[in-house]
Structure 1
């Protein structure tokens, strides 16, 4: 069983700082046995990043749709795992108002970061996922890979990659803290497993120094730099806008050349 002190030391070993802005994609199962289980993991993360901004995706795209149009950020569970759902219940945590791709955050700057997250696409440049670039965020993938990297959806939106969004928006409503309802029409991601193709960026990101490997509990992890990851992905999409349409690997010469030219 991993103790809280051991988990904190692993965060130190990753090179993460308490003042960092960090977004975490996670698999509690991969972390393994931990003191006080999932709540113990959150205790560690919240305490460690108390000088910064800690963010979890709290997506609801799985259940929100034509049959469920009212999103209540106070009560709607997330479809992306136990840690985000427990995080939502923690004191001091606030949630954004995006009906399908909300995030939750804790930290001094959380309200500024979370505001204006009701733009009409899942991962708008000026929504919470686009802001990861502006906040120079560290992306921590605990026991999961690049197929969970929602930030790459955002990069594809910036680049206007075709055939990613539905032809028409869904007209959602969002329940506000005062009980009023806010109209929030947003386009949806097309089905087809586009994010599954993001795994092809694993080796290029590692080779180009955009991310490193680490351990948290028993989980294999990636620690990424949002700015470096986005800049490299943009370079690749400028070469081939359809890069993520299939599983064909990124040409080795692209990232080997990038590395050798530094």
Structure 2
């Protein structure tokens, strides 16, 4: 049985900087038995990163679309698992207003981190929370999941203007912010499912030391810092822009 203390010890063993910024993608089931369940996992990560910034993706791309265009910071559940839904309801977190690719952040700079995400026109715009992960050289934890769940890589492709990654037509969506305001959000959504092809670079990223591994609970963890991954992918995608495309 894993406890908050044992999980805290594992985060320390991974070498995660508590004064920096960390983003968690993960499968709760992969962790095994945890005393207190998923809330213990959220609380552990928030506690460990208290001097810095802890971020959880709370995506809603599967439930907010042209047919159902309304997103609410306070009410819309995430479609990516137990941990994001617990995190978005945890005291102290602030959730962004992006209608499809929101995050919830914990820490003294959380409000500034998520500010104005609802004003961006793509899922992972450079001036959004996803781009700020690069600015902060955040650590991205993939717990019990692979690179195909690494949303940051979608951001890299956006910032490098890789062709055919965004839909040409836009959708008009609506975000109900935490203060009750309803904002119109014009979105060019992701095109296709190229994320399933992100593992094509796993061997290369391991070889050059960008991608590391460890354990959290029972789960295998892959993790990397944002800036080295960006620089490595910039080289690879410059050489082959359709690296993650269909073959």
For the superposition of Structure 1 and Structure 2, which TM-score range results when normalised by the shorter chain? Answer: over 0.9
Shift of 1:207: 1.3
Which secondary structure does the structure 2 equivalent of 1:24 belong to? strand
* Residues 162 and 241 in structure 2, CA contact (< 8 A), matched pair in contact too: yes
Q: Equivalents in 1 of 2:52, 2:224: separation in Å? A: 16
Map 1:227-238 onto structure 2 (within 5 A): 227-238=227-238
Structure 1 residue 189 and structure 2 residue 190: aligned?
A: yes
Which secondary structure does the structure 2 equivalent of 1:198 belong to? helix
CA displacement, residues 67-103 of structure 1 (integer Å, 9 cap, x when unaligned): 1111111000001110010011111100111100011
- Count of aligned residue pairs for this structure pair: 246
Shift of 1:105: 0.4
Tell me which residue corresponds to 1:2: 2
* Residues 42 and 87 in structure 1, CA contact (< 8 A), matched pair in contact too: yes
Q: Equivalents in 2 of 1:199, 1:206: separation in Å? A: 11
**Structure 1 residue ranges without an equivalent (≥5):** 248-262
Q: TM-score, normalised by structure 2?
A: 0.97
Tell me which residue corresponds to 1:260: none
Shift of 1:210: 1.1
Tell me which residue corresponds to 2:156: 155
Shift of 1:2: 1.2
Q: Equivalents in 1 of 2:33, 2:64: separation in Å? A: 32
Shift of 1:130: 1.1
Structure 1 residue 246 and structure 2 residue 246: aligned?
A: yes
Structure 1 residue 66 and structure 2 residue 66: aligned?
A: yes
Tell me which residue corresponds to 2:124: 123
Which secondary structure does the structure 2 equivalent of 1:55 belong to? strand
Q: Equivalents in 2 of 1:177, 1:84: separation in Å? A: 17
Tell me which residue corresponds to 1:19: 19
Q: Equivalents in 2 of 1:148, 1:16: separation in Å? A: 20
* Residues 14 and 214 in structure 2, CA contact (< 8 A), matched pair in contact too: yes
CA displacement, residues 171-208 of structure 1 (integer Å, 9 cap, x when unaligned): 011112332211111111113x2000001121111111
Tell me which residue corresponds to 1:254: none
Tell me which residue corresponds to 1:75: 75
**Structure 2 residue ranges without an equivalent (≥5):** none
Which secondary structure does the structure 1 equivalent of 2:45 belong to? helix
Which secondary structure does the structure 2 equivalent of 1:244 belong to? coil
Tell me which residue corresponds to 2:104: 104
CA displacement, residues 234-253 of structure 1 (integer Å, 9 cap, x when unaligned): 11111111111136xxxxxx
Shift of 1:134: 0.1
